[in-house]
Amino acid sequence: EPSLREVAEPTGRFIGTAVNDGLLSNGTYSGIVGTEFDSVTAENAMKWEAVEPQRGQFNWAGGDRLVQFAQQNDQLVYGHTLVWHSQMPGWLQNGSFSAAELRTIMTDHVTTQVARYKGRVQRWDVVNEAFNEDGSFRQSKFYQQLGSSYIADAFRAARAADPNAKLFINDYNTELDNAKSDGLYRLVGDLLAQGVPIDGVGFQNHLIVGQVNGPAIRQNLQRFADLGLEVAVTELDIRMQMPADSSKLQQQARDYRAVADACLAVSRCSGITVWGVSDRDSWVPDVFEGQGAACPWDENYRPKPAYDALRDAF
């Protein structure tokens, strides 16, 4: 049987997964990542706390490991993420800086990281999770001190550091047309009108089994695509109340299929990344009490119905 990447490649879309670089030494894990996917996203290794644990001191070990793996396996790399309120290093989170200093800290970080991977990371989540659920800007340290202009500044710094990388803004609960995605839509329109270098919008798609509305997701992807931007499904997983059973797993397969169909129906939707290979490695049980089994492979790295559904979609 063909792999996911083998069926995806003729469609011109990428199929990716979040990768925990610490697991790449596990042959089963790295075998699946290398064979089934043609794009990889660092699950944590390219986040600010991992990359710049002390101000001006960069640790590229995890990111480099992933990029090297990707090159060996002829894969794209989706860079995640440059500016985000979460997983910031302590010196940044707890430090107090003037606005001018914080702006410099941010643009230096963006510049250094994008330059490091110039030509080797094709897409970047430049700004992650900038919105509240009501569509207003999240009161992150960056927003509080710099106002919304931090977003444009981050994109400009990224573009200058690698003119060929595609620059994304990424968020969750923006999959449907709602207050949050409306806020994102307004921002992106403003950025484009101001000539800010943005190329795409990422939709995380951390979803719940039985609550996936494929046509509504397609419609919302399309309205962003109609701005002339690339769109992508960047962190797909579909969780369920545990324990799993066969009817939930079948519903999950239909839900995965619905998301894949939505992307494939939008010509500017460049690809789909799942947020983890197997239920064993997924972030879901740690964060969503009582929920899990959100990935296409089970705890023993056996493909689930969701895997077949994904493959059938291409």
Q: For ligand XIL, give the closer residue by CB, 128 or 278.
A: 128
Active site residue 235: yes
Q: Which member of 78, 283, 297, 307 binds ligand XIL (CB under 6 A)?
A: 283
Q: Which member of 17, 39, 75, 128 binds ligand XIL (CB under 6 A)?
A: 128
Q: How far is the CB of 47 from ligand XIL (least distance, A)?
A: 7
Could you say whether residue 237 binds ligand XIL (CB under 6 A)?
no
Could you say whether residue 204 binds ligand XIL (CB under 6 A)?
yes
Q: For ligand XIL, give the closer residue by CB, 262 or 295.
A: 295
In sequence order, what are the residues at sequence separation of 6 or more whose Cβ sits closer than 8 angstroms to the Cβ of residue 57? Answer: none
Residue nearest to ligand XIL (CB): 283
- Other CB atoms within a 10 A radius of the CB of residue 187 amount to 22
- Terminal CA-to-CA distance of the chain, rounded, Å? 14
Could you say whether residue 52 binds ligand XIL (CB under 6 A)?
no
Closest CA to 199 of 188, 211, 210, 185: 188
Q: Token digits for 112?
A: 């250094």
Calculate ∠ Cα 271-272-276, nearest 5°: 145
Could you say whether residue 36 binds ligand XIL (CB under 6 A)?
no
Could you say whether residue 43 binds ligand XIL (CB under 6 A)?
yes
| Integer Cα distance of 54 and 62 in angstroms | 16
H runs (alpha helix) in 37-178: 48-51, 61-72, 90-94, 99-116, 141-146, 149-161
Q: How far is the CB of 32 from ligand XIL (least distance, A)?
A: 17
Residue 229 to residues 161, 189, 211, 269: CA-CA distances in angstroms? 20, 10, 27, 9
Q: Which member of 44, 59, 111, 144 binds ligand XIL (CB under 6 A)?
A: 44
Return residues touching ligand XIL (CB under 6 A). Answer: 43-44, 128, 204, 235, 283
